Structure 1
Amino acid sequence: MNRKDKWTENDDNMLTQTVIDHIRTGSTQLKAFAKVAEIQSRTAAACGFRWNAELRHRYNNEIKEAKLQGRQSKDVAIVVRNQEQLNPIDQIIDALEKFRFEHLEFENEIRNLKSKNAELELELEELRNSNGLNINPSDDLQTLLDLIRKAEGMIIERENKKPAYR
């Protein structure tokens, strides 16, 4: 059966681009279907059916990216709108509250890292004791630094010597 209103590649491209643009700008797919329906002389339901049954699965990555961009643009718009409604004192208070929250998060992260460090030091000490090793890391570090300095000296000495032949 050859339908008069069969979907063409151009129709599909227009539907796809319109839907993705609407998602990207934070609009709905239903509004995209309505817009395409008006242009193509179809129903919004027909556009929605075509999108969901035939096209959507081909554009998963583009849809994910558009949704992410849509969320980011909504977040920015809300912040801008909120900042425009605040007077300067309220803006300063808002900024200080955000700074306080970030500061508390950093303090919590520092506490967690200190706790993890203490656990690792205990584990290291247990490993040393179980293996009968009495190694002081600072002594090892000093020995390593002495070796590096000696190697650097040897390299400099070799570079300063001229070859015996020319």
Structure 2
Amino acid sequence: MSPTRQDAWSQDEDLLLAEVVLRHIREGGTQLQAFEEVGKQLSRTSAACGFRWNSFVRKQYKSGIELAKKQRKELKKQGVSAEKDYQKELTNEEAASPALSMSESVTFQSVLHFLDDLHKKASAASSIEEAKEKSIQKIKDLEKKSYSLAAENERLSKNLKAIEEDYRSLIEIMERARKMVVLQEEDRQQKVKFQMDKNGNLERVEK
């Protein structure tokens, strides 16, 4: 068993933590289960993962959390709807294909027809399931990309804010320097006076 880590969290680890927690929220799981899953992958305790999520990561994914909750509601609705459709289909099939009584004869041709029909339904179900798996994987990939972009956007926003603050500070420094130059020039001009020489010309005299 690998030792429990206590070093600082990296950006990739924060991203993994966010992805797993949001997936559990979306799929109806608990955050505790998510913390345990991340803890096993990163050799950290579930408590450490929970503390990291609540103290830092969760604040950066507020919109992602809301989206995951909405998706959980939609998946729940789709599950209920699919179950109703399945029950309805079973009812229709039973009505369309009543069971043969013991007195009715079963021909070889009818058995072949039944097996062929069953094979077609199984193939169609397999294709639907495969398409579903591909769609789910695509959604997960897009969500991962979305979370990564959200984190990158947060980082760039912080950098932009820091640059704006530095720019304002630079403008203030330049303004103070300009005022100092103007004051020094005015002070220098006040120290200059003129007097008339013996020939009646004005000459500049420093105070």
Q: TM-score, normalised by structure 2?
A: 0.38
Which structure's CA Rg is the greater one?
2
